[in-house]
Each structure stands twice: as C-alpha cells, then as structure tokens.
Amino acid sequence: MIDPSLIGRSLSPVTAHVEPGRLRYFRETLGETNPVYGDAKAAQAAGYAATPVPPTYLFCLEMMDAEQAFEFITVIGVDIGRLLHGEQRFAYRAPVVVGDTLLFQPRIVSVADKKGGAMTLVGIETKVTNQNGTHVADVSRTVVVLNPRTA
C-alpha cells in the first residue's frame, strides 16, 4: 500500500531545454511530418516565434532532463514493473518552442486504492513555466500501481 500522507508532496523540480536535435529524433520516431513542427517559416506563418513542440512532448522533456526520471517511483516505494499509465492531460496556456528553457514543478496530488486494494492510483500534477516566468502549461498524469496479491 502507498502512504496517503504523500498527497501534497513536491517532487524535485526539473529544468529542461527544448533542443532541436532531440526534437527532430522524436518527430522522426513518430513519423511526424507536419511542417509547423519542422520548418521555422511554417511555424512563423502559424504565429510562433520558432518551431513549437508536438502536443505530448512536454511529458518527454521532463523525463529526459530529470536527474532521476522515475523519482516518484522511489518516493511511492513500488517496483517499476508494476506500473501502468492510467490517464494523461495537458492544458496549454502559452507556446513552447525550440530554444525555450522550461521549469517543471511536479507534486503528488492524490493516492487512492481501487478494486479492493488490487490497484492504487497516484495522481501527479506539474506546473510548467518558461525562461520568462510565463506559465505555459499544466501537465497531469495518473499512474496505476498493480498491488501484489495478499495471501
């Protein structure tokens, strides 16, 4: 079981850089060919200062630049093989483009047992701001922990 007193606990902040090479690798992996993401002129025509990140890339930036990508797993004290991703949400407030430096500030917001304790849902919310202090996004996820059966 996961300690419900972890609700409200902040995890280590992460500073992440939106680097063009890593972003190109991500686009190629997904077969993303939309010019708005790869061509500065197309991005400018769409109103961006530089090429923007695709909609799910904030999740990746936080993991790539974290000192411990799976810090929350250590904090909640479970084995990585017992995790599943339950839900994911992005609320976009301002553009995120190549060259930005972002600050991710995650915290645990919920811990709830389900199905008679067979699983525990852990909610993590992350505020994202950029190098100008602009609040660019809120990212939230629900992680499903499959609990071992008790005899």
Partner 1 sequence: MSKPVKDQPAIGDRIVHKVFPSISRHTLALYCGASGDHNPIHVDLDFAKAAGYPDVFTHGMLVMGYLGQALTDAVPPPRLRVFSTRFVAITQLGARLTCEGHVSEFVEHDGERCAKLALTTKDENGDLKLAGEAVIAL
CB nearer partner 1, residue 86 or residue 107: 86
Say if CB 114 and CB 85 are below 8 A apart. Answer: no
Q: With CB under 8 A as the rule, give the number of residues binding partner 1.
A: 42
User: Tokens 């190549």, residue?
Assistant: 98
Does 106 bind partner 1 (CB under 8 A)? Our answer is: no
Of the residues 8, 10, 31, 115, which one makes contact with partner 1 according to CB under 8 A: 31
Taking the complex as a whole, how short is the minimal distance between the CB of residue 18 and partner 1, in angstroms? 13
Say if CB 97 and CB 53 are below 8 A apart. Answer: yes
Both tokens of 10, joined, read: 């902040």
Q: What is the DSSP letter of 141?
A: E
Q: 110 has which bridge partners?
A: 123
Does 71 bind partner 1 (CB under 8 A)? Our answer is: no
Closest CA to 19 of 95, 99, 91, 77: 99
Does 38 bind partner 1 (CB under 8 A)? Our answer is: no
CB nearer partner 1, residue 5 or residue 150: 150
Binding site for partner 1 (CB under 8 A): 22, 25-26, 28-32, 34, 36-37, 46-48, 52, 54-56, 59-66, 69-70, 80-92, 95
